[in-house]
Amino acid sequence: MEELPRLPFDNPSVLGVAPRMRALQHEGPITPVQAAGEDAWLVTRYDEVRALLADRRLGLSNPYPARQAKTTARSTMMALMAGDDYETEAADHPQMRELLVPRFSTRRMRMMKSRIEQHVDELLDELAAGPPPADLHRALSFPLPTMVVCDLLGVPLADRERFGQWARGTFDQSDDGRHSAHTFQQVVDYTTELVARKRTEPGDDILSELIAAKDGSLSDEYIAQLGNAVLLFGYETTIVRIDLGTLLMLRNPEQRALLAEKPELAPAAVEEILRLAVGGKGSNALIPRYAHSDITVGDTVIRTGEAVLLAIGAANIDGHAYPDPDLMDITRDRPKSHLSFGHGTRHCIGRVLARIELTAVFERLFRRLPGLRLAVPEEELRWQEHRITGGFDEIPVTF
């Protein structure tokens, strides 16, 4: 019997979809693979990925959990999304969204816009004032989303650095999960204590609003869980996309020059960054799901309980959906919606906020630092494969 392709696929580049992933996409929309110790169906084409993202027959939890291979970090992720238990997911996940979606209304996010822009201006001023070379990740990509999510949760300024570092460690899959479990427990302890404090000292933040929600009936433990979901899903992916977006722009000097000349193109540039932002072996471009009933995709039947990996990175460069799919073009004429924020009932709650943050960065970055460039060869950058979300720990730049 022929051995199944095994994820993650090697990638000779620090950016972009792995060649093996592209080859499988050309062969067909769905293929069996092995990933994280279990067999799975890998779906790579735009139409099929989009349809399955909206298909209620796919869930976060495995109907047969005894068969499932899980790391501590991935188990934590599923629990935060209220999708770790097949028996309760159908009720718990919609309740979580019902409570959090109003906290991320477009109106509220746009009210945060000026504060986010102020954060970006201050961070870029500090970066420009220092001597090159500097670490863009440490100077901008990490602190900005950390500031924003801490603003949302009402985390005191003095606690933000360690709070952010704990959050990063939660999705670390190395060391048999011990580091992930330890750092996540620190996040839980801190957030639970913060919720208790806000019961007597409420502020203009999400935790205070959740305390008052449902006639004050939500427990501190549950509110802390919701707060941790906001923290862990609301900032790590934005950090990664600022880093990847900068690298994509540096790879495309004509697009970078156009953006610096016309900052009003920043929203379109952000959509291209989101579409193309795949790093390393693609750990940030796969969405895991399980079939909760049989699903037919083309000539393939996905059976109940089988794992499905939705390759949003590959789908976003599907030539059937995008002309010149590998080309970064911030002037694309009415492109299809990319799938980086998902689609359908589990569309990312924080997508408006992420777009505001990314737009604020890329409106300013290359105007404020027109000579920005990498201080090391791109191949020396190290994508952190041990984290579920991937990402870099350092982006050395000069300007």
**Buried-state track 61-97, b at ≥16 Cβ within 10 A, e below 16:** bbbeeeebebbbbbebbbbbbbbbebeebeebbeebb
Tens digit of pLDDT for each residue in 177-192? Answer: 777 888 889 999 999 9
Phi first, then psi: give them for residue 100, nearest 5 degrees: -90, -35
What's the predicted TM-score (pTM) here? 0.95
Instruction: Cis check for the bond before 8: say yes or no (omega within 30 of 0).
Output: yes
CATH code of 19-398, in short, is 1.10.630.10
pLDDT of residue 332: 96
Q: What is the C-alpha separation between 63 and 6, in angstroms, rounded? A: 23
Q: Does 71 have pLDDT greater than 90?
A: no
Q: Any bridge partners for residue 42, and if so which?
A: 31, 309
Phi first, then psi: give them for residue 135, nearest 5 degrees: -105, 105
Tens digit of pLDDT for each residue in 347-374? Answer: 999 999 999 999 999 999 999 999 999 9
If one compares 79 and 240, the residue with the highest pLDDT of the two is 240
Q: Does 244 have pLDDT greater than 90?
A: yes
Q: Does 265 have pLDDT greater than 80?
A: yes
Q: What is the C-alpha separation between 319 and 19, in angstroms, rounded? A: 15
**How confident is the prediction for the chain on average, in pLDDT?**
93
